[in-house]
Amino acid sequence: MTDGKITKDDFLGGRISLSQPEKGYRITSDSVFLSATIRLKAGDKILDVGAGTGAILSCLSARLGENASEVTMHGIEIQDDLITLAMENSGGTIKYYKGDIFNDVPGCEPNSYHHIVSNPPYYEKGKVKASPYKTKAVAQGDGISDLRLWVERCLRMVRPKGFITLVHRADRLDDIICALSQKAGSIIIYPLYSKAGKDANRVIIRAQKDANGLLSLKSGLIVHKSDGHYTDQAENILRHARYLDITE
């Protein structure tokens, strides 16, 4: 059973409409921003680890349009309620697998994906009060105690010279970089600032497997104006389906 009522909500300015629980796990702008950083070409394979209701891949598919059939999109999700909604949201172009990233998932072969994307649970198990809604509690980290292991498992899925792109809390950067640097390089850190003058509370991190390039810290994106409205750049991504180039 889901956490009650299901809503149908528009994203990318109405280009897609996604089903999600009214209470519990809800799609956030973090997933939309992450999806905007990925540019796929024909023949690419991409895997979303911890796919939730499928927002990241659905946004990618919408941006690709008719070309979505030229790439392979897979998602792994452990929660029955969420994977059911992800499959509903897929439009038939994305395949989701129920499974635990800490174990092998049949159908998702290690070392085979050009891109891995993930919005890992933001909190460690036992560090915050669990949400009363199961889908949100699990998505926030009630079932995970090791972010580094999550990242390491993501790295296991990406092919040599492939890319892993994550969005997470800025204060967990040390754990993420430590895990990535074991098998990847050319790390890009792209901060997301809630408002100008504020510390970054989210970061997008990209790394290339088996690469030796240096770490790069970018200027990042300011999401909101002082009055709370989205900045023009954020609006272009969230409403007009523009891409976000985190390499600039």
210 vs 162: CA distance, rounded Å: 8
Q: Could you tell me the sign of the dihedral formed by the alpha carbons of 89, 93, 98, 102, in that order?
A: negative
- Determine the number of helices (DSSP H) and then strands (DSSP E) in the chain: 7, 11
Handedness of CA 34, 35, 39, 42 (dihedral sign): positive
Here the CATH number for the domain that contains residue 53 is 3.40.50.150
Residue 198 — pLDDT band, cuts 50, 70, 90?
very high
- Report pLDDT for 142: 44
Nearest to 141 by CA among 81, 78, 88: 78
What is residue 15's predicted lDDT score, i.e. its pLDDT?
96
Task: Say how many C-beta atoms besides its own lie within 10 A of residue 193's C-beta.
Answer: 19
Kindly state the DSSP code that residue 198 receives in the 8-state scheme.
S
Task: Kindly state whether residue 1 falls inside one of the protein's structural domains.
Answer: no
pLDDT (tens digit, 9 = 90+) per residue, 31-51?
999 999 999 999 999 999 999
For residues 229, 64, 152 and 175, what is the CA-based torsion angle, rounded to 10 degrees?
-20
- pLDDT at position 1 is 47
The pLDDT > 90 percentage for the chain reads: 85
Pseudo-torsion of CA 193, 199, 201, 207, nearest 10°?
80
Q: For the residues 227-240, what does the mean pLDDT come to?
A: 97
Dihedral (CA of 236, 242, 247, 248) sign: negative
- Is residue 235's pLDDT more than 60? yes
> At which residue do the structure tokens 């950083």 appear?
37
Q: Is the pLDDT of residue 115 over 70?
A: yes
Report the number of distinct structural domains present in the chain: 1
Determine the structural domain holding residue 161 and report its residue range: 6-238
SS3 91: coil
In a domain, 130, yes or no: yes
Q: Is the pLDDT of residue 127 over 90?
A: no
Q: What is the pLDDT of residue 4?
A: 80
How much is the pLDDT for 3?
59
The C-alpha atoms of residue 13 and residue 26 are separated, in whole angstroms, by 17
For residue 33, the one-letter residue type is F
Reported confidence tier of residue 201, pLDDT bands at 50, 70, 90 = very high
pLDDT at 183 over 60: yes
User: Measured at the alpha carbon of residue 35, what is the angle toward residues 118 and 74, in degrees to the nearest 5?
Assistant: 55
Is 70 inside a domain boundary?
Answer: yes
Q: Which alpha helices (DSSP H) does 65-185 contain, by range? A: 80-89, 134-137, 147-157, 173-180
Q: What's the CA gap between 20 and 27, in Å, rounded?
A: 8
Give the per-residue pLDDT at 2. 54
Report pLDDT digits (tens) over 129-148. 444 444 444 544 444 568 99
